[in-house]
């Protein structure tokens, strides 16, 4: 009997010791905050050249951390971009394209392993506050993809039965959108029925984010804040309305900067700022045909939903005290799909067996600018159209059709027309000398064209390219569908 009791005591001590060690390992892991803005252009942050408004909190974040000059969204449009961010995959690999609509019966496949699931499996608290846009049915909402908490809109804030200009209810808007729901967890708790309701969204998400930090500061957490702004219709609180020289869009950017500041203060107040990876980036470039209510591509060509640089190259700022060197600028290639594998590497998290496209860019975050973890960027758009590839400083634009912003824009919430434009032959651009893609030099560098075409051939084989009639490649997976 005495031997039996001794064995139990030894086993208990070993169990407690192992459990304590596990808890200590969890406590050492960094917190992660990702702020993801909608339709904000490359030139809409002070440190990237913004004019007409100020972004002091983001500028301080850049001065205390690192900003990237060649960072790309996964695709230049809402749903696809978000799918890429959270799964580490080019969106077309997992069946995503364009922007999902309220009545669509598809969404993020539960077989895909998300960033939130990776963190949750390590004992992190996880939360999403803002625009989801990866499927409206319950099975596709955040709580089914690794998030403990969710408050926000299930899709874009213009998908409602109201005028984006006046906020008035429309008898018929061409889309037959339902009321715009505000969801808490999995349940609809109310509706956004006016422009005044839109004005409250940035503050709401910010308050929820701060509260989450306050409640979870004693353990590791992952906080994802995908703001609804600055997507049309623009909404801004009284705190910032009329405050910028640029008008309503500038006001919105100032409030987003305020949101960054409030979240940063919460990290400082809870003494976790030094152990937090804090990231700011956007889903795609600006919706330029909205004129004075659109952002700036910062001199890059075109904007949202195009495969030119203004559509897919976006601002990216990271602060991680003691790890990311302060006040640095990284010019190497990186993409939103790289965040998942990088976070997994830093936290010793596991990835699923599913093939992903992201690469570990920890070396860049730590200031090793000689490293080149990412060699290429693929510019997929539409259902599965490969419109271009970039390798190093060279970009090959492939024949495709797109909607150009080279027309008179709208103003005050009214969208201007876009011009259907065809790229008839391949074009080559030197991104170091010509980031604005003004000078096609394809005739002067045949060896570069051949090198880039090898990337094109590999990409088409694995992921397809409808521009040349290849619907799918060997590596495409299915989007999630409601099981009936």
| Residues 222-258 pLDDT 10s | 999 999 999 999 999 999 999 999 999 999 999 999 9
Distance, in Å, from the CA atom of 330 to the CA atom of 312, rounded to the nearest integer, reads: 17
HSE-CB of 57 using CA atoms within 13 angstroms: 16
Distance, in Å, from the CA atom of 399 to the CA atom of 169, rounded to the nearest integer, reads: 41
- Per the listing, tokens 């824009």 go with 409
CB atoms within 10 A of CB 198: 26
Q: Name the nearest CA neighbour of 118 among 213, 32, 58.
A: 32
pLDDT band at 291 (very low <50, low <70, confident <90, very high): very high
Q: Let me know if 78 is a catalytic residue.
A: yes
Which residue has better confidence, 28 or 228?
A: 228
Answer for the pair 454, 448: CB distance below 8 angstroms, yes or no.
no
Q: Which contiguous run of DSSP H or E holds residue 9?
A: helix 2-28
Q: Let me know if 400 is a catalytic residue.
A: no
What 3-state class would DSSP assign to 217? coil
User: Residue 405 — φ and ψ, nearest 5°?
Assistant: -90, 10
Answer for the pair 108, 83: CB distance below 8 angstroms, yes or no.
yes
Q: What is the mean pLDDT of residues 295-307?
A: 98
**Helix extents (H) in 189-231:** 195-199, 201-216
Instruction: Kindly name the residue from 78, 89, 330, 335 that is annotated as catalytic.
Output: 78
> How much is the pTM?
0.94
Distance, in Å, from the CA atom of 432 to the CA atom of 170, rounded to the nearest integer, reads: 48
The predicted pLDDT at position 27 comes to: 58
Whether the per-residue pLDDT at 173 is higher than 70: the answer is no
The predicted pLDDT at position 4 comes to: 40
Instruction: Kindly name the residue from 89, 128, 133, 330 that is annotated as catalytic.
Output: 133
Q: Which contiguous run of DSSP H or E holds residue 7?
A: helix 2-28
Whether the per-residue pLDDT at 21 is higher than 60: the answer is no
Give DSSP secondary structure letters for 82-111: HHHHHHSS-GGGGT--S---TT--EE--TT
**Helix extents (H) in 50-200:** 56-63, 78-87, 115-120, 195-199
3-state secondary structure 267-331: HHHCCCHHHEEEEEEECCCCCHHHHHHCCCCCCCCCCCCCCCHHHHECCEEEECCCCCCCCEEEC
Considering only the C-alpha atoms of the chain, give the largest distance between any 2 of them, rounded to a whole number of Å: 90
Distance, in Å, from the CA atom of 225 to the CA atom of 205, rounded to the nearest integer, reads: 7
Distance, in Å, from the CA atom of 348 to the CA atom of 346, rounded to the nearest integer, reads: 6
Within 8 A by CB and 6+ apart from 198, the residues are 157, 167, 192, 228, 233, 234, 235
The predicted pLDDT at position 271 comes to: 98
Distance, in Å, from the CA atom of 403 to the CA atom of 401, rounded to the nearest integer, reads: 7
Within 8 A by CB and 6+ apart from 248, the residues are 234, 236, 241, 292, 293
| Residues 400-455 pLDDT 10s | 999 999 999 999 999 999 999 999 999 999 999 999 999 999 999 999 999 999 99
pLDDT band at 6 (very low <50, low <70, confident <90, very high): very low
| Residues 88-134 pLDDT 10s | 999 999 999 999 999 999 999 999 999 999 999 999 999 999 999 99
| Residues 309-329 pLDDT 10s | 999 999 999 999 999 999 999
pLDDT band at 25 (very low <50, low <70, confident <90, very high): low
Distance, in Å, from the CA atom of 317 to the CA atom of 68, rounded to the nearest integer, reads: 7
Pairing of strands 376-381, 385-391: antiparallel
The mean of the pLDDT values for the chain is 95
Beta bridge partners of 150: 128
Give DSSP secondary structure letters for 351-399: --SS-------HHHHTT-TT--S--EEEEEETTTEEEEEEETTEEEEPS
Distance, in Å, from the CA atom of 351 to the CA atom of 353, rounded to the nearest integer, reads: 7
């Amino acid at each position: 009997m005495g031997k039996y009791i001794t064995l139990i005591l030894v086993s208990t001590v070993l169990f407690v010791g192992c459990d304590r060690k596990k808890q200590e390992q969890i406590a050492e892991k960094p917190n992660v905050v990702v702020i993801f803005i909608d339709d904000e252009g490359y030139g809409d942050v002070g440190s990237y050249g913004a004019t007409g408004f100020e972004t002091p909190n983001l500028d301080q974040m850049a001065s205390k951390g690192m900003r990237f000059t060649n960072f790309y969204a996964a695709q230049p449009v809402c749903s696809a971009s978000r799918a890429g961010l959270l799964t580490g995959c080019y969106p077309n690999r997992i069946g995503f394209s364009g922007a999902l609509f309220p009545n669509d019966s598809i969404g993020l496949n539960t077989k895909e392993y998300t960033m939130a699931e990776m963190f949750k499996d390590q004992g992190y608290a996880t939360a999403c506050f803002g625009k989801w846009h990866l499927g409206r049915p319950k099975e596709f909402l955040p709580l089914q993809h690794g998030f403990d908490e969710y408050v926000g809109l299930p899709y874009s804030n213009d998908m409602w039965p109201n005028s984006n200009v006046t906020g008035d209810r429309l008898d018929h808007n061409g889309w037959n959108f339902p009321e715009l729901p505000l969801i808490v967890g999995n349940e609809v708790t109310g509706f956004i029925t006016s422009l005044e309701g839109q004005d409250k969204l940035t503050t709401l998400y910010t308050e929820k984010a701060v509260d989450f930090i306050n409640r979870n500061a004693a353990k590791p957490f992952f906080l994802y804040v995908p703001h609804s702004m600055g997507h049309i219709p623009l909404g801004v609180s009284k705190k910032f309305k009329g405050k910028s020289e640029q008008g309503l869009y500038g006001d919105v950017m100032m409030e987003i900067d305020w949101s960054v500041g409030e979240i940063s203060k919460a990290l400082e107040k809870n003494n976790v700022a030094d152990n937090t990876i804090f990231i700011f980036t956007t889903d795609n470039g600006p919706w330029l045909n909205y004129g004075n209510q659109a952002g700036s591509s910062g001199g890059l060509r075109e904007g949202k939903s195009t495969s030119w640089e203004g559509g897919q190259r976006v601002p990216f700022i990271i602060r991680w005290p003691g790890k990311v060197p302060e006040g640095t600028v990284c010019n190497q290639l990186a993409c939103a799909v790289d965040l998942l594998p990088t976070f997994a590497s830093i936290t010793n998290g596991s990835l699923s067996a599913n093939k992903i496209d992201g690469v570990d860019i920890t070396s860049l975050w730590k200031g090793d600018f000689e490293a080149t973890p990412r060699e290429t960027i693929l510019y997929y758009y539409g259902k599965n159209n490969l419109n271009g590839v970039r390798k190093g400083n060279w970009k090959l634009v492939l024949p495709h059709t797109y909607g150009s912003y080279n027309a008179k824009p709208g103003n005050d919430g009214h969208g201007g027309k876009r011009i259907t434009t065809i790229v008839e032959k391949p074009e080559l651009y030197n991104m170091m000398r010509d980031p604005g893609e003004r000078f096609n030099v394809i005739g002067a560098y045949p060896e570069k064209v051949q090198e880039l075409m090898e990337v094109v051939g590999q990409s088409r084989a694995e992921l397809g390219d409808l521009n040349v009639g290849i619907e799918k490649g060997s590596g495409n997976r299915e989007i999630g569908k409601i099981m009936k």
